[in-house]
Amino acid sequence: MAFLRPAALCVALAAAFPAAAFAASDADLKQLRDQLRELRDTYQQRIDALEQRLAAAEARSASASTAAVEAGTTASEAIRSVAEVRATADSAARRPASASTFNPAVSLIIDSKLTRFQRDPSAYRIDGFIPSGGEIGPPRKGFSLGESELAFSANVDHLFRGNARFALAEDDGAGVVEVEEVNVETLALPSGLKMKAGRFLSGVGYLNQQHPHEWDFSDAPLAYKAFFGYRLQNDGVQLRWVAPTELFLELGAEAANGGKFPGAERNANGAGLWTAFAHLGGDIGESSAWQVGLSHVRANPRARGFEDGADHATGAALQHSFSGSSQTWIADFVYKWAPNGNSRERYLKVQGEYLQRRETGELSYNLDADGVAAASSAARFRQSGSYLQAVYQFMPHWRVGVRGDWLRSGTADLGGLDPAGLPILAGYNPTRQTAMVDWSPSEFSRLRLQLARDKSRNGEADNQVWLQYVMSLGAHGAHKF
């Protein structure tokens, strides 16, 4: 076909200029022939070059298919392998060569709320309980920005994995960065052992290890607020062990500084707070899974301060402190059900925890500026709290949930102190009922409406409306059970 082209061109030219051909002289004809020959030669050269390239390409592909046959694969696979090489080359080209390849996984959680409360959230307290000093109150009325969590994690090397999580918040108009978690955990301890050191959320209970963005409700259960200042965060070490059994059994223990409630700020060597916990879990058929746990927290706070009551003359809050031993037991369970274990469509999650705390020691009443108490006496407290909640996803992306909270201030034996001087310790059993509905268009976003009737404050029921969003950006690690 290609060889015909110069000839066809001649014919076409001849056909196009018949008159010129007849009229032209011999010299003209010769010139024309020369030009045509030149043209044909040029084309011939190009064609030859193309033919050579074609032959070379054919030889290459033939050798490739020979190789393919030799390797015992089919020709289609040879083509595939060529494509594969190309894909590899592509991916190799795409691979970033810079040091940023080793950057830790970064995730950012943003959270914002619109709330409506009947009572002043800044005057929030849980009556019947020694204030835990944590951030336990609801956010301010109206629009508010929750804590933004910024988390980093990566394997440090073949032995350690590092995690860091910071909460960016605003406190009285000033931006504050709180270190929520900074720890390393071991990757290569033998026999199912794991160790964690640094600041971490204690493994006690069920909810304690979950970050606020994982909660099924906008705020923590009352029991956690009253007993741990909403969660037990430790500076210390944790050792955990998973049993090599079909039934999940995990045992763990922690030794920590105990500088926060139920411990107290301390200036001493060694640990001030110890925990031990056990979790047991398994499946019931394809559709259900369960986990139960029992945990113990023990601390020996020295001069754990709190405010209560006011001076008659100045109106300033009175300072008191407690020293002694504090022991908390937690029993927890969680049950999850999803048809065939496929939680995409529908699922049910029921969880509950019971916390009981005993504190014995000395209560010092009305400390002056030098820490000298106006009165002090031996005191004993035995208090408990629990919550029970159920969340049901009734169709993809939509969930409803209810939660009940109960606290029992129990028996407060103040010894020789006048109970009227410590109004917050007057016997009272706070309760709260919460209902929520949330919509999660993907695993990374959630919009929630929550209604609650909070009777944390004696005689001051607070009807609350919360509208909240929680969004996860960036690398988002898988959640625990």
Binding residues vs another protein (CB under 8 A): 77, 80, 83-84, 87, 91, 158, 161, 185, 187-194, 239-251, 253, 255, 274, 276, 279-283, 286, 289-291, 298, 336, 340-345, 396, 441-444, 477-481
Q: Name residue 264's amino acid.
A: A
Q: Where are the beta strands (DSSP E) in 243-272?
A: 248-256
Spatial distance between the Cα atoms of 175 and 171, rounded to a whole number of angstroms:
6
Q: How far is the CB of 133 from another protein (least distance, A)?
A: 24
Considering the complex, state which of residue 9 and residue 280 has its C-beta at the smaller distance from another protein.
Answer: 280
Nearest to 130 by CA among 313, 379, 455: 379
Spatial distance between the Cα atoms of 174 and 447, rounded to a whole number of angstroms:
27
**What is 65-121 written as a DSSP string?**
HHHHHHTT--HHHHHHHHHHHHHHHHHHHHS--SGGGGPPEEEEEEEEEEEE-SS-G
Q: How far is the CB of 34 from another protein (least distance, A)?
A: 55
Considering the complex, state which of residue 39 and residue 249 has its C-beta at the smaller distance from another protein.
Answer: 249
Q: How far is the CB of 297 from another protein (least distance, A)?
A: 11
Q: How far is the CB of 242 from another protein (least distance, A)?
A: 5
Considering the complex, state which of residue 243 and residue 317 has its C-beta at the smaller distance from another protein.
Answer: 243
Considering the complex, state which of residue 247 and residue 420 has its C-beta at the smaller distance from another protein.
Answer: 247
Q: Name residue 468's amino acid.
A: Q
Considering the complex, state which of residue 273 and residue 417 has its C-beta at the smaller distance from another protein.
Answer: 273
Considering the complex, state which of residue 76 and residue 98 has its C-beta at the smaller distance from another protein.
Answer: 76
**Widest Cα–Cα separation across the chain:** 140
Considering the complex, state which of residue 427 and residue 441 has its C-beta at the smaller distance from another protein.
Answer: 441
- Cβ atoms within 10 Å of 300's Cβ, excluding its own: 21
Q: How far is the CB of 396 from another protein (least distance, A)?
A: 6
Q: How far is the CB of 453 from another protein (least distance, A)?
A: 31
Spatial distance between the Cα atoms of 387 and 410, rounded to a whole number of angstroms:
16
Q: How far is the CB of 130 from another protein (least distance, A)?
A: 22
Distances (CA, A) of 173 to 169, 176, 349, 393: 10, 9, 38, 38
**What is 308-343 written as a DSSP string?**
EEE-TTT-PEEEEEEEEEEEEEEEEEEEEE-GGG-T
Q: How far is the CB of 355 from another protein (least distance, A)?
A: 19
CB neighbour list of residue 373: distance below 8 Å, 6 or more residues apart:
320, 321, 364, 365, 366, 367
Considering the complex, state which of residue 28 and residue 84 has its C-beta at the smaller distance from another protein.
Answer: 84
Beta bridge mates, 153: 105, 163
Considering the complex, state which of residue 192 and residue 427 has its C-beta at the smaller distance from another protein.
Answer: 192
SS3 readout for 267-309:
CCCCCCEEEEEEEEEEEECCCEEEEEEEEEEEECCCCEEEEEE
Token pair belonging to 454: 């909070």
Q: How far is the CB of 266 from another protein (least distance, A)?
A: 17
Spatial distance between the Cα atoms of 201 and 181, rounded to a whole number of angstroms:
7
Distances (CA, A) of 282 to 239, 293, 333, 392: 22, 12, 12, 20
Tracing tokens 């999940």 back to the chain, one arrives at: 248
Q: How far is the CB of 465 from another protein (least distance, A)?
A: 29
Considering the complex, state which of residue 325 and residue 463 has its C-beta at the smaller distance from another protein.
Answer: 325
Spatial distance between the Cα atoms of 468 and 56, rounded to a whole number of angstroms:
68
Nearest to 201 by CA among 232, 229, 239: 232
Considering the complex, state which of residue 16 and residue 247 has its C-beta at the smaller distance from another protein.
Answer: 247
Considering the complex, state which of residue 13 and residue 276 has its C-beta at the smaller distance from another protein.
Answer: 276
Token pair belonging to 82: 């060529």
Q: How far is the CB of 43 from another protein (least distance, A)?
A: 40
Q: Is 237 exposed, middle or buried (0-12, 13-18, 19+ CB in 10 A)?
A: middle
Considering the complex, state which of residue 142 and residue 441 has its C-beta at the smaller distance from another protein.
Answer: 441
Q: How far is the CB of 442 from another protein (least distance, A)?
A: 7
Nearest to 444 by CA among 477, 418, 409: 477
Instruction: Specify whether the CB–CB gap between 165 and 181 falls below 8 A.
Output: yes
Q: How far is the CB of 250 from another protein (least distance, A)?
A: 8
